[in-house]
């Protein structure tokens, strides 16, 4: 079943709204960004999350010890690396690790083969804009894929028709401004997601019915 991560969370109101609408994971950015959240604030928000919602810390070329310190302090469920982190760097972490890759050509997809992580996040080389999803048509990943990069309510269905990922990650596409989510945009995005989930369930039921003698 398709999972959803809402990234760039900076306040409890947005976090609770995302969860109410059906988000499975929330992303907290600790790297330089207009969506950056202070460590103490992130810890406070995470302390209010229900048990089945995943908290993900986003880092960019940070020192390993600093990532470990923040992860422990905030009680993060997973860490996401969005810079030039090496396979060796990622192996330094024992928990759930997501490695992000910016995709501009098929050669970029081959970089994933070097990483033994929990999931790959495929992002756009241009912030807030989609990449060419048709590059994924013949992609056979070794780990679950999280699709990101310029996703919003208007284009998410098309993206899912081209490639069916394990999860999708959205940030700017559901914002009023950097660091603050727009309720209507978030509701519209999740409405498409729920329709897609229902479609997937219907397909599974139809397949199961077809296979029965």
Give per-residue pLDDT as tens, 40-67: 999 999 999 999 999 999 999 999 999 9
For residue 159, the number of C-alpha atoms closer than 13 Å in the C-beta half-sphere is 28
Give per-residue pLDDT as tens, 170-189: 999 999 999 999 999 999 99
C-beta separation of 110 from 135 below 8 A: no
Helix/strand/coil (H/E/C) assignment for every residue in 3-62: EEEECCCCCHHHHHHHHHCCCCEEEEECCCCCCECCHHHHHHHHHCCCCCCEEEEEECCC
pLDDT the model gives residue 128? 80
**Residues 5, 15: Cα–Cα separation, whole Å:** 11
Going by their DSSP bridges, the two strands 167-170 and 180-181 should be labelled as unpaired
Catalytic residues: 7, 123
Tell me the domains of the chain and their CATH numbers. Answer: 3-211 (3.20.20.70)
Give per-residue pLDDT as tens, 92-113: 999 999 999 999 999 999 999 9
What predicted TM-score, i.e. pTM, was given to this entire model? 0.93
| Structure-model confidence comparison of residues 201 and 21, the more confident one | 21
pLDDT the model gives residue 136? 95
Other CB atoms within 10 Å distance of the CB of residue 96: 15
**Residue with structure tokens 């995470």?**
46
- How many angstroms from the chain centroid is the CA of residue 21? 16
Q: With CA atoms as reference, report the closest residue to 17 among 58, 53, 44.
A: 53
């Amino acid at each position: 079943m398709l999972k959803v991560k809402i990234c760039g969370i900076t306040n409890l109101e947005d976090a609770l709204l995302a969860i109410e609408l059906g988000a499975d994971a929330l992303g907290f950015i600790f790297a330089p960004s207009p969506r950056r959240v202070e460590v103490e604030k992130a810890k406070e928000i995470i302390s209010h999350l229900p048990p089945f919602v995943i908290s993900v810390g986003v880092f960019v070329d940070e020192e390993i010890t600093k990532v470990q310190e923040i992860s422990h302090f905030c009680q993060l469920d997973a860490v996401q690396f969005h810079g030039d982190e090496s396979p060796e760097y990622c192996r330094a972490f024992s928990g759930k690790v997501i490695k992000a890759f910016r995709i501009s050509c098929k050669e970029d997809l081959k970089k994933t083969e070097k990483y033994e992580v929990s999931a790959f996040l495929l992002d756009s080389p241009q912030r807030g804009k989609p990449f060419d999803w048709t590059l994924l048509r013949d992609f056979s990943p070794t780990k679950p894929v999280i699709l990101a990069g310029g996703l919003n309510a208007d284009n998410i269905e098309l993206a899912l028709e081209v490639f069916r990922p394990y999860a999708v990650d959205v940030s700017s596409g559901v914002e009023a401004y950097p660091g603050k989510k727009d309720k209507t945009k978030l509701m519209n995005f999740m409405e498409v997601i729920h329709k897609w989930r229902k479609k997937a369930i219907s397909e599974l039921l139809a397949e199961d019915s077809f296979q029965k003698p």
